[in-house]
């Protein structure tokens, strides 16, 4: 049985189905996922309902986008043996939790989420004055809370959504974690640990509640984790009791801030599909080579004999991602003295990008040739995710008296 804090080790993240991924996604998000999948129990999913909140008028591309994006995840090395990969709409429990959470969510909380007004401004051509769009961050809260995920890797723009999730969880636990006989049940649960542990628990609880001793809190939590003879409900009660609240049914997640990708686009701006400056993970080598050979450099270098300044050149940004100190020194000296030409300078980064992409393109080819394999990965992932989601929904329904 997993306890609340072991569940807190669970990692969950989602991506809207954008189709083929590019090097910006790889260096920004996927490399981070690759590390996390070895360290934690990970759930990674395709947020197709979230895509509908902005693309409800033309959803026809979504199925292809899902397949291509998942293939790119696999090609990048996301391993379905260590991480659970699934599609949001295939786990309808998310929708049920979203509905139930909507009952306790003040509309003002959603209107105040910064992305709400920002996106409406940015996507002026779309009518986003919809109920679904207002609920975007609450659906995200349901995605997270249904797995009781403790850590949520997200970019800067999504941190406010994880903050909202924490507030929703707190409100939920406050309203529904207060059983009429909570204290009595917590005392009973405590006794199940045996005299000695119960006494130690009391001391630690006092140290935390009276003096704010964070170490005592950590020791007490670890102690609860180690208790084999507590039920899940009893453990949740004791976690809440320890901190002076009710039962912790939905634990509060923390955001794991993904550092902004240093990966520049071919024009030196951030790599993004909307700027048309991307290198896709599955681009052909000849295409990549051509795109990089023709990418702009420091405009001061009109002729080969004109010196340049790497700081003013998009190619230098690539060297910062791909080259070692030796190559960088060679670029700095050669550029400023006009000792090297721009094509010479690009050669090592072109080679590095091609070398990085080659194994991924090969795997894309393998997975594309085996659609059943990809389907199976998602089917199995959906089943695994659903089993966890169902368990949480049992508890949530019970807490909200939805039992007959």
Q: What residue number has its CB nearest to ligand TRP?
A: 14
Nearer to ligand SF4, 274 or 305 (CB): 305
> Using the rule CB under 6 A, is 76 a contact of ligand SF4?
no
Nearer to ligand SF4, 86 or 316 (CB): 316
**Structure-token pair, residue 121:** 């401004």
- Beta bridge pairs of residue 257: 154
Ramachandran region, residue 77 (left: φ > 0; alpha: ψ -120 to 50; beta: rest) = left
297 binds, among ligand TRP, ligand SF4, none (CB under 5 to 8 A by kind): ligand SF4
Q: Are strands 83-87 and 151-154 parallel, antiparallel or unpaired?
A: unpaired
Q: Is 73 exposed, middle or buried (0-12, 13-18, 19+ CB in 10 A)?
A: buried
> Using the rule CB under 6 A, is 349 a contact of ligand SF4?
no
User: What's 79-94 look like in SS3?
Assistant: CCCCEEEEEHHHCCHH
16 binds, among ligand TRP, ligand SF4, none (CB under 5 to 8 A by kind): ligand TRP
CA atoms within 13 A on the CB side of 255: 18
4 binds, among ligand TRP, ligand SF4, none (CB under 5 to 8 A by kind): none
Q: Which of 298, 357, 388, 396 binds ligand SF4 (CB under 6 A)?
A: 298
**Residues in touch with ligand TRP (CB under 6 A):** 12-16, 47, 50, 140, 143-144, 152, 154, 158
Q: Are 37 and 151 in contact (CB under 8 A)?
A: no
Nearer to ligand SF4, 258 or 323 (CB): 323
Q: How far is the CB of 158 from ligand TRP (least distance, A)?
A: 5
67 binds, among ligand TRP, ligand SF4, none (CB under 5 to 8 A by kind): none
CA angle 344, 345, 347 (to 5 degrees): 65
Nearer to ligand TRP, 152 or 292 (CB): 152
12 binds, among ligand TRP, ligand SF4, none (CB under 5 to 8 A by kind): ligand TRP
**Structure-token pair, residue 272:** 């993004």
Report helix, strand or coil for 332.
helix
Q: How far is the CB of 322 from ligand SF4 (least distance, A)?
A: 13
Nearer to ligand SF4, 153 or 310 (CB): 310
For ligand SF4, the binding residues in 323-342 under the rule CB under 6 A are 331, 335, 340, 342
Angle between helix 342-369 and 62-76 (nearest 10): 110
In 246-341, which residue ranges form alpha helices assigned H by DSSP?
285-293, 314-322, 325-336
Residues forming contacts to ligand SF4 in the complex (CB under 6 A) are 297-298, 301, 308, 310, 313, 315-316, 331, 335, 340, 342, 345-346
């Amino acid at each position: 049985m997993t306890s609340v804090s072991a569940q807190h080790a669970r990692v969950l993240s989602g991506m809207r189905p954008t189709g083929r991924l590019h090097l910006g996604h790889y260096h920004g998000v996927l490399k981070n996922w690759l590390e996390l999948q070895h360290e934690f129990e990970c759930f990674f999913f395709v947020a197709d309902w979230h895509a509908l909140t902005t693309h409800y008028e033309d959803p026809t591309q979504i199925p292809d986008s899902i397949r291509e994006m998942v293939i790119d995840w696999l090609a990048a090395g996301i391993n379905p043996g260590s991480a659970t990969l699934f599609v949001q709409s295939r786990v309808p429990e998310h929708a049920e939790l979203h509905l139930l959470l909507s009952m306790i969510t003040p509309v003002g909380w959603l209107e105040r989420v910064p992305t709400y007004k920002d996106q409406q401004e940015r996507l002026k051509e779309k009518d986003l004055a919809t109920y679904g769009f207002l609920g975007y961050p609450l659906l995200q809260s349901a995605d997270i809370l249904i797995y009781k995920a403790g850590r949520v890797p997200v970019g800067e723009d999504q941190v406010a959504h994880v903050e909202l999730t924490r507030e929703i969880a707190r409100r939920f636990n406050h309203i529904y974690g207060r059983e009429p006989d909570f204290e009595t049940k917590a005392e009973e649960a405590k006794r199940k640990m045996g005299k000695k542990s119960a006494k130690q628990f009391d001391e630690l609880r006092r140290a935390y509640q009276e003096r704010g001793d964070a170490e005592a809190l950590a020791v007490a939590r670890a102690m609860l984790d180690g208790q084999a003879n507590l039920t899940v409900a009893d453990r949740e009660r004791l976690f809440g009791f320890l901190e002076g609240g009710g039962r912790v049914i939905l634990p509060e997640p923390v955001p794991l801030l993904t550092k902004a990708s240093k990966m520049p686009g071919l024009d030196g701006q951030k790599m993004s599909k909307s700027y048309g400056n991307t290198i896709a993970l599955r681009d052909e080598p000849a295409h990549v080579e051509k795109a990089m050979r023709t990418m702009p450099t420091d405009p001061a270098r009109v002729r080969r004999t004109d010196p340049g300044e790497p700081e003013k050149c998009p190619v230098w940004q690539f060297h910062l991602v791909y080259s070692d100190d030796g190559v960088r020194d060679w670029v700095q000296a050669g550029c400023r003295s006009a000792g090297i030409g721009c094509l010479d300078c690009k050669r090592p980064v072109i080679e590095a990008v091609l070398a990085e992409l080659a194994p991924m393109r090969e795997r894309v080819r393998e997975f594309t040739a085996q659609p059943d394999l990809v389907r199976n990965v998602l089917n199995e992932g959906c089943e695994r995710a659903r089993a966890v989601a169902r368990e949480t929904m049992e508890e949530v329904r019970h807490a909200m008296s939805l039992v007959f």
